[in-house]
Structure 1
Amino acid sequence: MPSGRRAREKTFFGHPRGLATLFGTEIWERFSWYGLRAILATFMAASPAIGGLGLSQQTAQAVVGIYGALIYLVALPGGWIADRVLGARRAVLWGASVIMCGHISMAVPVETGAFVALGLLLIIAGTGLMKPNISTMVGKLYPQDDDARRDAGFSIFYMSINIGAFIAPLVVGWLASGNRWHLGFGAAAVGMALGLAQYVLGRRHLKGVGERPGHRLTPRERRHFGLAAAVAALVTCGGLAVWTASGTFDLDTFALVMTLFIVAVPVFYFGYILLGSHNLTDDEHSRMKAYIWLFIAAAIFWMIYDLAPTVLLFFAQNKTDLSLFGIRITPATTQSFNPLFIMIFVPLFAALWVRLGNRVTAPHKFSVGLFINGLSFMIMALAAKLAESGRITVWWLVLVYLVQVFGELSLSPVGLSVTTKLAPEAFKSQMLGLWFISISVGDAVGGQTGRLRNHMSEPAYFLTLALIAVVASLVLLAFAGRLHTMMREHRPPNTAPPP
């Protein structure tokens, strides 16, 4: 586009107006997601007498873990559907609409879990369509050769995630206080409705971005896809119906089965990449083996980090004096600490990695992230021990979230970067989805760690998870040199591997 014409058009902080549309949509989608997440576990564990579902904390932790895991898992098929069937624009529109319907279902004030289950399923399905594809549309707002502005645009876009994540627990948590759970769920629905309205009203600024699928299915492929989807749905529903009719179905067992399935997904996928006929070069094969180590490290990290909306939320509710600077807060408000610290420290860590350059490798950064995450739960173990004598100050949780954010900023952005760097050429487009599966595995397994509470005290539980992270960190550190060699970062590109 000629510079004169670009200057005459209205922009969003110097970027295409379409970025404002996607920015606003993402804020409200994240508002709805983090608002629900901030009260979901406490709602499930609350007594039916006060409008809750009456689940045990262990079961609520497992269900929320599976819910979070599926949110990340469905990003893979959601991206595929947009690329082959709907196009990114319609995928986002349909996804946002389905998410809104899911929150509306959650907000129905009836004493049954049926509407809750339906709501969660709709939110999972809608997020799978919306989440990966709205990011894709951000990238397509810019010309292919405009890398600098595209990177800056993504930085602005990702700020919307943390704005929504910061505001949501404050608003939804306040509305849901006093056991007004469905009012909180209703606020999440209103948030998604505002995001949907922002998207529809601002669609003209997208200027055709994402209108058509990138690789549309042929009519024959569409028929096969429709048949396969129908068969999969029938088998899944039929299996659940038979299981329920047998009288052996319960949420704990269901969560365990789903966890095993989610863990099996990356095992199958890594096997497919490494053992299939994809003509991988020796370097690509070596890099993928190194990536498996980093994937496992990331899964352990998320196993602990994503216990915030369950274990740490219950701790805030039951073990802390919820007062900050003399102001009473809700348990859900503690979920705002994390995005606040992220917004504060992201620029500092970005500058730190630039300053350190190649002296600190990806395995080193992963090791540091894991160690810091383990340190946060050592602090939690001490806090839990002190809480055995009565409620403790909520500042303990502030400290834990602060430490965890240091761990996240050491691992999460680096994970995205190293995933794209180590991806084989034949799997460039799919590898980011594989990175998100590490979060899915971590969330699912983290949900199952509640079973440990049947055999140990709360301080011992936190200390056990901390030691898992620290040991994993030390193992990764010990093999960092070997992994660096396997990643083939010590040789210039196109240099033949040693014999």
Structure 2
Amino acid sequence: MSDGGGRTFFGHPRGLATLFGTEMWERFSWYGLRAILATFMAASPANQGLGLSDVTAQAVVGVYGALIYLVALPGGWIADRILGARRSVFWGGFVIMLGHISMAIPVTTPFFVWLGLALIITGTGLLKPNISVMVGRLYPEEDDGRRDAGFSLFYLGINLGAFFAPLVVGWLAAGDRWHLGFGAAAVGMALGLAQYVWGRQHLRGVGERPGMRLTPDERRRFGRLAGLGTALTVVALAAWAATGTLTIDRFTVAVTIVILIVPVVYFGYIMLGSHGLTDDERIRMKAYMWLFVAAAVFWMIYDLAPSKLLFFARDHTELSMLGIPIQPATTQAFNPLFIMIFVPVFAALWVKLGTRVSTPQKFAFALVMVGLSFVVMAVAAALAGTGRVSVWWLVLVYLVQVFGELSLSPVGLSVTAKLAPEAFKGQMLGLWFIAVSVGDAVGGQTGRLGEVLSEPMYYLLLAALAVVAGIALFMFTRRLRVMMAEHHEPAMR
């Protein structure tokens, strides 16, 4: 199969190779940073770290991850109305690279760390949502089969980057060489940008222009609103700092509260506004709210991998596998490895089961799995009370969690698109990422429970929350299927 008479990428348009490589290296930089960020922040200044408590570091990592997903919404809008997807991806990657370079500067002041994180958040908001859009646009609208296969290859690139990043960055950052690890993340993003620029001719004009460019009046209005919003934020933070009460901990709590307010306002706007929603659309949105909450609970636990579980690896495990010494960051490679192994298995399973397993049942199964993974963590934490435990406990935890992720994540965007009211088809896809944002932000704050609970009880409490939520979804599956207008067949025996 050719691409206009030229070479192809495993039978797909050559542009897919460009986007595959760009995303692989961008994910290398993202997951590389994520694999060492919490331990860097919690390391003492004597060990070249920031000297934050584990609780504060967990909160920062949670808010950082939450903002990454939240800014995907304005990032997509900027591409659609101002820059176009192609330029958004380039400038997003460039800003991400600057962020990693900022963090790699070997100075003792934390200013460049916070600047670097802010730049990475901003750049990811431009790159992440728009590179996926460009993959889809490489194919004719009617070519659904090749497009799905193309996305499978694209997601392989994501997980390849996610797998190798903790191994490479973790090894380089060992011995308190944190900034060397951050520098490796910067190099990764630079390679991704080089791949993107070198292969741009294969994109065949995809994403060249905004889908609906702002008019001059709209552009001026947007500029004024953006400037006003930035100024108000700066003034508010300056006023807070002037009171002497601004701390990193309080800032993360404030951001978490704002993130929690966003979906409440958004759902209220959809349900209470005058948008011409039909009765059926309102009923489907009520069903979606339950799935949204379920997803947020899932990500709250699942995305504790780069903070709470990383600290457990650092403090309570024998860092050795098959006799080979490893770094705490190495444990962050288990998840993408299992995803690459089990994606085809679960894809075949869902095809075989068809409609006999509903979306609510898949979400419920995911919640039970992520809950059981923390039951395993509770057992490991109890055993760690008498000494370090085998790192294979974490391998088991990540294996169980991946079973949950592959039951929830692939259907998340699909069910969002299916249940979205006609007036909100485009915007609603961003709402799925807000569920991840809420989960990450709240998960970051759960570290404070460790101040009143033992380690095993901390894990058991979160496990109970997830399992109870999963059981509740199972119990109301029939009702939710009716609300969703999902085709009903006899349940799987």
- Which bin holds the TM-score, normalised by the shorter protein? over 0.9
Which residue is 1:446 aligned to? 443
- Does the 8 A contact of 2:99 with 2:115 survive in 1? yes
Which residue is 2:476 aligned to? 479
Alignment of 1:310 onto 2:307: yes
Q: Distance in 2 between matches of 1:443 and 1:90?
A: 29
Of residues 384, 387, 391, the one that matches 2:388 is 391
Report the residue type matching 2:275 in the other structure: H
After TM superposition, the score normalised by the length of structure 2 is: 0.98
Provide the identity percentage. Answer: 72
- Does the 8 A contact of 2:356 with 2:488 survive in 1? no
Q: Distance in 1 between matches of 2:463 and 2:191?
A: 40
Which residue is 2:135 aligned to? 138
Of residues 83, 93, 97, the one that matches 2:94 is 97
Please state how far the C-alpha of 1:211 moved relative to its aligned partner: 0.7
Distance 1:454 1:243, change over 3 A: same
Alignment of 1:431 onto 2:389: no
Which residue is 1:348 aligned to? 345
Deviations 1:272-305 (A, max 9, x none): 1111111112211111100000000000000000
Which residue is 1:161 aligned to? 158
Q: Distance in 2 between matches of 1:69 and 1:434?
A: 13
Q: Distance in 1 between matches of 2:175 and 2:151?
A: 39
Which residue is 1:16 aligned to? 13
User: Any residues of structure 2 matched to 1:89-488 within 5 Å, and which?
Assistant: 89-488=86-485
Which residue is 2:49 aligned to? 52
Please state how far the C-alpha of 1:230 moved relative to its aligned partner: 0.4
Please state how far the C-alpha of 1:23 moved relative to its aligned partner: 0.4
SS in 2 for 1:278: coil
Please state how far the C-alpha of 1:7 moved relative to its aligned partner: 6.3
SS in 2 for 1:388: helix
Q: How many residue pairs were aligned?
A: 489
User: Unpaired segments of 5 or more residues in structure 2?
Assistant: none
Report the residue type matching 1:231 in the other structure: L
Report the residue type matching 2:271 in the other structure: L
Q: Distance in 1 between matches of 2:233 and 2:318?
A: 45
Please state how far the C-alpha of 1:43 moved relative to its aligned partner: 0.1
Report the residue type matching 1:8 in the other structure: G
Which residue is 1:496 aligned to? none
Q: Distance in 2 between matches of 1:432 and 1:488?
A: 19
Report the residue type matching 1:163 in the other structure: L
Please state how far the C-alpha of 1:86 moved relative to its aligned partner: 0.3
Please state how far the C-alpha of 1:490 moved relative to its aligned partner: 4.0
Q: Distance in 2 between matches of 1:6 and 1:15?
A: 7
Report the residue type matching 1:478 in the other structure: M
Deviations 1:124-158 (A, max 9, x none): 00000000000011111111211111111111111
Report the residue type matching 2:327 in the other structure: T
Please state how far the C-alpha of 1:6 moved relative to its aligned partner: 3.6
Report the residue type matching 1:87 in the other structure: G
Q: Distance in 1 between matches of 2:485 and 2:267?
A: 19
Report the residue type matching 1:38 in the other structure: A
Please state how far the C-alpha of 1:475 moved relative to its aligned partner: 1.2
Alignment of 1:43 onto 2:40: yes
User: Unpaired segments of 5 or more residues in structure 1?
Assistant: 493-499
Runs of 4 or more, structure 1, over 6 Å off, are: none
Please state how far the C-alpha of 1:83 moved relative to its aligned partner: 0.1
Please state how far the C-alpha of 1:444 moved relative to its aligned partner: 0.1
- Does the 8 A contact of 2:481 with 2:488 survive in 1? no
Please state how far the C-alpha of 1:8 moved relative to its aligned partner: 2.5
SS in 2 for 1:428: helix
Of residues 25, 28, 32, the one that matches 2:29 is 32
Which residue is 1:495 aligned to? none
Distance 1:491 1:166, change over 3 A: closer
Greater mean alpha carbon deviation, residues 147-156 or residues 215-224:
147-156
Q: Distance in 2 between matches of 1:6 and 1:170?
A: 36
Greater mean alpha carbon deviation, residues 166-175 or residues 10-19:
10-19
Report the residue type matching 1:425 in the other structure: E
- Does the 8 A contact of 2:95 with 2:120 survive in 1? yes
Q: Distance in 2 between matches of 1:381 and 1:150?
A: 42
Please state how far the C-alpha of 1:417 moved relative to its aligned partner: 1.7
Q: Distance in 1 between matches of 2:429 and 2:416?
A: 6
Deviations 1:160-198 (A, max 9, x none): 110000000000000000000000000000000000011
Report the residue type matching 2:347 in the other structure: A
Of residues 74, 78, 84, the one that matches 2:81 is 84
Q: Distance in 2 between matches of 1:346 and 1:87?
A: 32
Please state how far the C-alpha of 1:416 moved relative to its aligned partner: 2.0
SS in 2 for 1:438: helix
Q: Distance in 1 between matches of 2:421 and 2:184?
A: 43
SS in 2 for 1:8: coil
